[in-house]
Amino acid sequence: MANPHPYVYFGDQIVAAEAATLGVASSAVLYGLSVYTVFPVHVDAGAASPAPTAFRLDDHYRRLEESCKIIGIDQFTQEWDFGRFRTAVSTLIAQNAPRTDVFVRATVHVVESIPGTRVRGCAIAVSMFVYDAVPIVPQDGMRLKSSPWRRIPDNAIPSRAKVNGAYVNSVLAKQDAIDSGYDDCVFLDGNGHVCELSAANIFLVRNGTLITPDVSCDILDGINRRTVLTLATEDGIPVVERTVDLTELYIADEVFVTGTSSGAAPVVEVDGRLVADGIPGPISQSLRKRHHAALRTDDVHGWVTELTA
């Protein structure tokens, strides 16, 4: 991971990173029974009033709540609300005082020890840590490989919930792609339809229309996916959310991906086939610029939250 910062939120306080540990017998460790989100914090080190800002913090909080609800982690909403979350994030950022943009990973862990495979009523602990905002995929044109591993379906472990344990599915597929010389994978579902990457949503452009798998295609309902759909609509680009075949990626005019850790990054090759002429296309490039700007300043949608400790 890119440069973890020294202070961590854990157990309702800020502690040194080494002190934030989970028990080996906790459900979080035994079963991967934790849910999380990652959001960007922008720091304008040159600005007169350099209050850091978080992008779509309330949406990230809501998705964390929804992940808990899906999995049955009922103690989170008993103990937390958005105000508490925002204060914890602000305090953590103030303590670490980053000089450049960072990501914050906030996790709700089930910390009950040896409870057996159950969840309701189990004790939780929230952790948050900060690290440099370094993208996890190339930003100038990445190469994707369709995965031999299928995406976990909604009726097994739902992709719509960000469950730590489910990320073994992503690890298998991403490692396979890397081992084969690619940058990331394209997950397909059991019927061969396109889902998403290991940790990003996917879009294609065909005849000027922006197309992306809909939210019932075993994907995470990505916050950057929603952002790009909004920006594209505002720019007058027709948008369609529907089932996508793998071969549609092969003949697309443009392909790009979105995610907190990926940005809005163009794809130039899928399964050994160039996307169009292998150069990032105009719609990908313009949405990439719009997305990049929205992360930092946004007066229109209310997407940016100032973090004042």
Q: Is 43 a residue that touches ligand PMP (CB under 6 A)? A: no
Q: Is 196 a residue that touches ligand PMP (CB under 6 A)? A: yes
Owner of token pair 């905002």: 133
**Interface with ligand PMP (CB under 6 A), residue from 53, 107, 147, 258:** 258
Q: Is 224 a residue that touches ligand PMP (CB under 6 A)? A: yes
Q: Is 220 a residue that touches ligand PMP (CB under 6 A)? A: yes
Q: Is 223 a residue that touches ligand PMP (CB under 6 A)? A: yes
Q: Is 14 a residue that touches ligand PMP (CB under 6 A)? A: no
Cβ distance to ligand PMP smaller for residue 199 or 265:
199
CB of 115 to ligand PMP, least distance (A): 26
The span from the CA of 163 to the CA of 170, in Å, is: 11
CB of 46 to ligand PMP, least distance (A): 27
By CB under 6 A, which span of 6-14, 131-139, 252-260, 291-299 interacts with ligand PMP?
252-260
By CB under 6 A, which span of 13-21, 23-31, 98-106, 223-231 interacts with ligand PMP?
223-231
CB of 24 to ligand PMP, least distance (A): 26
Q: How many CB atoms lie within 10 A of CB 181?
A: 8
CB of 123 to ligand PMP, least distance (A): 26
By CB under 6 A, which span of 42-50, 69-77, 256-264, 269-277 interacts with ligand PMP?
256-264
Q: Is 107 a residue that touches ligand PMP (CB under 6 A)? A: no
**Interface with ligand PMP (CB under 6 A), residue from 90, 260, 284, 305:** 260
Tell me if 71 sits within 8 A of 119, measured CB to CB: yes
Q: Is 147 a residue that touches ligand PMP (CB under 6 A)? A: no
Cβ distance to ligand PMP smaller for residue 65 or 196:
196
Helical ranges in 97-214 per DSSP H? 167-179
Q: Which of 284, 266, 295, 233 is nearest to 60 (CA)?
A: 295
Q: Which of 51, 55, 48, 43 is nearest to 98 (CA)?
A: 43
The span from the CA of 296 to the CA of 304, in Å, is: 7
DSSP structure string for 219-236? ----HHHHHHHHHHHHTT
Q: Is 201 a residue that touches ligand PMP (CB under 6 A)? A: yes
User: What is the maximum alpha-carbon separation in the chain?
Assistant: 55
Which stretch of DSSP H or E encloses residue 143? strand 142-150
Cβ distance to ligand PMP smaller for residue 14 or 232:
232
Q: Which of 95, 124, 99, 120 is nearest to 111 (CA)?
A: 124
Tell me if 225 sits within 8 A of 201, measured CB to CB: yes
10 Å CB burial of residue 180 (0-12, 13-18, 19+) is: middle
Distances (CA, A) of 200 to 36, 74, 166: 15, 27, 15
CB of 25 to ligand PMP, least distance (A): 27
Cβ distance to ligand PMP smaller for residue 104 or 124:
104
47's CB contacts (< 8 A; 6+ apart) are none
**Interface with ligand PMP (CB under 6 A), residue from 115, 259, 266, 281:** 259
Cβ distance to ligand PMP smaller for residue 107 or 258:
258
Residue 264 β-bridge partners: 258
CB of 39 to ligand PMP, least distance (A): 8
Which stretch of DSSP H or E encloses residue 180? none
Binding site for ligand PMP (CB under 6 A): 38, 196, 199-201, 220, 222-225, 258-260
